[in-house]
Each structure stands twice: as structure tokens, then as C-alpha cells.
């Protein structure tokens, strides 16, 4: 699937923090700026594939609401992990689910339609009334995300999209996790480098990029949230 990440930055965002050679500090600075700028119109989404974004956001903006899109196909380990982090760090987690009447097993025949109904539509509802959206995109995730901007205008959803971890490498993640003693996702030591829905996620093999276990063999690289 072709990456079409928009990189339009409106002139009225000229006050946004610039990226520096310290991506960890940059993440805190841009989140604090976003909170000052957008207040309660800010929507932070985290997949809870790891603890990093949820923790960074809660450190930068104490008490911030963090939205989890529960597709109905999350690994049981992800559901447990999100609840464990919620209790451990007193996170304010909002869970947004798809329509309860959706057809089952669409993933078996049409993964795009499944993602549209179980990820994109719930995100659109989560963003109602919001003017800005924080995600956990990292440029080092995969080739399709290599140009992910730090802050830009998401033309599709008409929100300011903020990717505080855009400049983070695996080394930054390891440093941050060690500094704060963050737990790993239970599937991390089983080879799952990027954790999505159980029907479409497999462990990553040596030499593969982190997202190669998602929709493996299909040519699909994104679920539709970040197009």
C-alpha cells in the first residue's frame, strides 16, 4: 500500500517546537506545546504495543486522556497490558470500540475492509470535536513511515497530527524504557516487534523491519489510520 502521509504545515503552527538532536526531550516539548495550544481538543491514541507513548504523554501532560482503539481482535496480552499500565501509572484510558453489529471474520477475505470498520471508523469517532491528534509513529518503524513528520496538518481528517516519537530509534526506546523501568509487552520476548490484531500479526524474523509481521505476505503495510 502506498504511503501518502501528508506533510503540510500551516503557517499558524510556526510556534511549534523544532526537532533537535535529542528526540526524547523533543517528545516532551512537543506534547507540552500541544497541550498549551489545543487543550481538551487534543486526542492521544496509543496501541499499547509497548508502554512508551502512553508513559511519555502522561509524563508531559499529567492526567491526559489516552485513547485505545479496541478492534475486537486485540491480543488478550494487549488488553491485559493496557490495563496493567493503567493501574501502574494511573493512566486515564478511554477505550473506543467498533460497531457491535459488524460482520465477523471479514479479515479472512478483505483486510482493508476489516481495518476500515474496526480501526478507521472508531478513530473518526474518537476525533469528533478534536482539533489535534497524537500518535506513536516512528520513522524507524518501517520504510513506509520513513518520512513521518513531527507536526503537520492531516488533510484527510482536518486535524493537526503530532508524532512526538517520530525521531526515535530503537536505541532511544531502550534508553527511555530503562530510565523509567517500563515493562515490556508480554509478546515482545516471543518475537512480536509490532503488535496489532491477532489474525494479522506474526513474529518478526531476523533481518526484517519491525512491521514486517503485520499482514505478512499481502503487500499491505498500513491499516488506514496513517494514510
Give all domains of the chain, ordered by start, each with its CATH number.
11-200 (3.40.50.620)
Name the more confident of 144 and 146: 146
Q: Is the pLDDT of residue 14 over 90?
A: no
Residue 39 has which C-alpha cell? 487543550
pLDDT digits (tens, 9 = 90+) for 36-56: 999 999 999 999 999 999 999
pLDDT digits (tens, 9 = 90+) for 89-130: 999 999 999 998 999 899 999 988 999 999 999 999 999 999
Q: What is the pLDDT of residue 10?
A: 52
Q: Is the pLDDT of residue 2 over 60?
A: no
Place of cell 524507524: 140
Q: Give the residue numbers annotated as catalytic, written as ranges.
A: 223
Q: What is the pLDDT of residue 220?
A: 63
Task: DSSP for 19-47, please give it.
Answer: P-S-HHHHHHHHHHHHHHHHGGGEEEE--
| Surface-to-core class of residue 132, CB atoms within 10 Å of its CB (0-12 exposed, 13-18 middle, 19+ buried) | buried
In DSSP terms, which residues pair with 197 in a beta bridge?
A: 74
List of residues 6+ apart from 212 with CB closer than 8 A:
142, 204, 205
Name the more confident of 219 and 14: 14
- Range 19-27 average pLDDT: 97
Q: What is the pLDDT of residue 11?
A: 52
Longest dimension (CA), the chain: 48
Q: Is the pLDDT of residue 204 over 60?
A: yes
Q: Distance (Å, rounded) from C-alpha 215 to C-alpha 222?
A: 9
- Range 21-44 average pLDDT: 97
In the sheet where 151-154 sits, what is the strand order?
Answer: 92-96, 65-69, 42-45, 132-134, 159-162, 151-154
Strand 151-154 to 159-162 pairing: antiparallel
Amino acid at each position: 500500500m502506498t504511503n501518502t502521509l501528508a506533510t503540510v504545515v500551516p503557517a499558524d503552527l510556526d510556534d511549534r517546537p523544532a526537532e533537535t538532536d535529542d528526540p526524547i526531550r523533543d517528545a516532551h516539548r512537543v506534547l507540552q506545546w500541544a497541550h498549551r495550544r489545543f487543550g481538551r481538543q487534543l486526542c492521544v491514541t496509543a496501541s499499547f504495543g509497548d508502554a512508551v507513548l502512553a508513559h511519555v504523554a502522561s509524563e508531559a501532560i499529567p492526567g491526559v486522556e489516552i485513547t485505545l482503539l479496541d478492534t475486537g481482535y486485540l491480543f488478550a496480552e494487549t488488553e491485559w497490558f493496557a490495563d496493567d499500565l493503567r493501574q501502574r501509572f494511573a493512566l486515564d484510558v478511554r477505550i473506543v470500540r467498533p460497531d457491535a453489529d459488524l460482520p465477523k471474520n471479514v479479515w479472512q477475505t478483505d483486510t482493508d475492509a476489516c481495518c476500515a470498520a474496526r480501526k478507521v471508523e472508531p478513530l473518526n469517532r474518537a476525533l469528533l470535536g478534536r482539533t489535534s491528534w497524537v500518535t506513536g509513529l516512528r520513522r524507524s518503524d518501517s520504510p513506509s513511515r520513513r518520512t513521518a513528520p513531527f507536526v503537520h496538518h492531516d488533510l484527510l481528517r482536518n486535524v493537526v497530527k503530532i508524532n512526538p516519537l517520530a525521531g526515535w530509534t530503537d536505541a532511544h526506546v531502550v534508553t527511555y524504557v530503562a530510565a523509567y523501568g517500563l515493562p515490556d509487552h508480554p509478546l515482545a520476548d516471543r518475537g512480536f516487534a509490532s503488535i496489532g490484531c491477532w489474525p494479522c500479526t506474526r513474529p518478526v524474523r531476523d533481518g526484517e523491519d519491525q512491521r514486517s509481521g503485520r499482514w505478512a505476505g499481502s503487500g499491505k503495510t498500513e491499516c488506514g489510520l496513517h494514510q
